[in-house]
Amino acid sequence: MFSPQFQWNRRNWLQVSAAGVLGTTLPLASTTTAASSSPTGRAKSVLIVHLSGGPSQLDMFDPKPEAPEEIRGEFSPIETTVPGVQVCEHLPRLAQQLRHWSVLRSLAHLEHNHLLATHVALTGRPTPIPRGGSDLDRVESRNDFPNFAAALSYIRPRNDGVPTGVSLPNYFIEGPLTWPGQHAGFLGPKHDPWQINHDPNDPNFRIDSLSLQPGVTSPRLLSRRGLLESVNRSPMSLEAEGRANSFTEQQGLAFSLLTSDRVAQAFDIQREEATSRDRYGRNKFGQSLLLARRLLQAGVPIVQAAMGIVQTWDTHVDNWGRLKNTLLPQLDRGLAALMDDLSSSGLLDQTLVLVMGEFGRTPRISTLPGQGVPGRDHWAHVYSALVAGAGVRGGQVVGQSDSNAAYPVSRSWSPADVCTTLFNALGVGHEAVLMDPLQRPNHLLNGEVIDPLYTGRAS
**What is the pLDDT confidence band of residue 242, given thresholds at 50, 70 and 90?**
very low
Please report, for the domain that includes residue 135, its CATH number. 3.40.720.10
Q: Would you say residue 168 lies in a domain?
A: yes
Whether residue 54 has pLDDT greater than 50:
yes
Spatial distance between the Cα atoms of 184 and 187, rounded to a whole number of angstroms: 5
Q: Would you say residue 213 lies in a domain?
A: no
21 and 111 belong to one structural domain: no
Q: Would you say residue 145 lies in a domain?
A: yes
Q: Which residues pair with 303 in a beta bridge?
A: 47, 166
255 and 276 belong to one structural domain: no
Spatial distance between the Cα atoms of 177 and 182, rounded to a whole number of angstroms: 13
Q: Which residues pair with 400 in a beta bridge?
A: none
Q: Would you say residue 379 lies in a domain?
A: yes
Question: How many domains in the chain?
Answer: 2
**Of 18-27, 37-46, 118-127, 380-389, where does mean pLDDT reach its minimum?**
18-27
Whether residue 224 has pLDDT greater than 80:
no
55 and 113 belong to one structural domain: yes
Spatial distance between the Cα atoms of 288 and 333, rounded to a whole number of angstroms: 12
- Residue 8's domain spans which residues? 1-30+220-267
> Do residues 335 and 278 lie in contact, with contact meaning Cβ atoms separated by under 8 Å?
no
Specify the pTM. Answer: 0.84
Q: 422, 360, 421: which is closest to 59 by C-alpha?
A: 360
224 and 187 belong to one structural domain: no
Q: 359, 382, 301, 394: which is closest to 51 by C-alpha?
A: 359
196 and 234 belong to one structural domain: no
Q: Would you say residue 72 lies in a domain?
A: yes
The residue ranking higher by pLDDT, 59 or 135, is 59
Spatial distance between the Cα atoms of 184 and 252, rounded to a whole number of angstroms: 18
Spatial distance between the Cα atoms of 173 and 358, rounded to a whole number of angstroms: 15
246 and 295 belong to one structural domain: no
Q: Would you say residue 46 lies in a domain?
A: yes
Q: Would you say residue 214 lies in a domain?
A: no
188 and 307 belong to one structural domain: yes
User: What pLDDT shows up at residue 138?
Assistant: 82
Q: Would you say residue 323 lies in a domain?
A: yes
First to last CA, the chain: 71
244 and 95 belong to one structural domain: no
In tens, the pLDDT along 398-452 reads 999 999 999 999 999 999 999 999 999 999 999 999 999 999 999 999 999 999 9
The SS3 call for residue 50 is strand
**Of 5-14, 51-60, 249-258, 332-341, where does mean pLDDT reach its minimum?**
5-14
Q: Which residues pair with 168 in a beta bridge?
A: 305
User: What pLDDT shows up at residue 244?
Assistant: 45
51 and 176 belong to one structural domain: yes
- Dmax (CA) for the chain in angstroms is 84
User: What pLDDT shows up at residue 429?
Assistant: 94
Element containing residue 297 per DSSP (H, E): helix 284-297
**What is the pLDDT confidence band of residue 29, given thresholds at 50, 70 and 90?**
very low
2 and 99 belong to one structural domain: no
